[in-house]
A = this chain, B = another copy of it.
Amino acid sequence: MTAARDLQLDTACPDTRALVEHVTSKWGVLVLLALRDRTMRWSELKREIAGVSEKMLIQSLQTLEADGLVLRTARPVVPPHVDYSLTDAGHEAVDLLAPLVFWAQQQVQG
């Protein structure tokens, strides 16, 4: 178990900060949770995640893809067909993230 002090200092690292911010961002959380148990198309995600704007959905997906957490698979057909799924790292992230979100939910409701 790493000492708390070690974590503190390292957290000042901007890259670690950025990754934590991405996975805990407003729409990032919802995208990761939505993709947790199955691959989804872009339009499915848009429908599933209530209230997300097209811009933010695209931006979130692109960020998570760049972080290596989400896999984008485009089929060059008409009309366009694009699938999104979690990578192994994405599954690791969501497995660590979900308990935190669940806990926060309990706190608020309690």
Binding site for B on A (CB under 8 A): 2, 4, 7-13, 15-17, 19-21, 23-24, 26, 29-30, 33-34, 36-37, 48-51, 67-68, 89, 92-93, 96-105, 107-108
Q: Which residues of B contact A29 (CB under 8 A)?
A: 11, 20
A105 to B103, CA, bound (A): 22
B8 lies within 8 A of A33 (CB): yes
Q: Which residues of B contact A89 (CB under 8 A)?
A: 107
A34 lies within 8 A of B8 (CB): yes
Q: Output the least CB separation between A23 and chain B (Å).
A: 8
B21 lies within 8 A of A33 (CB): no
Known: A4-B33, A29-B20, A103-B92. A108 touches B12 (CB 8 A): no
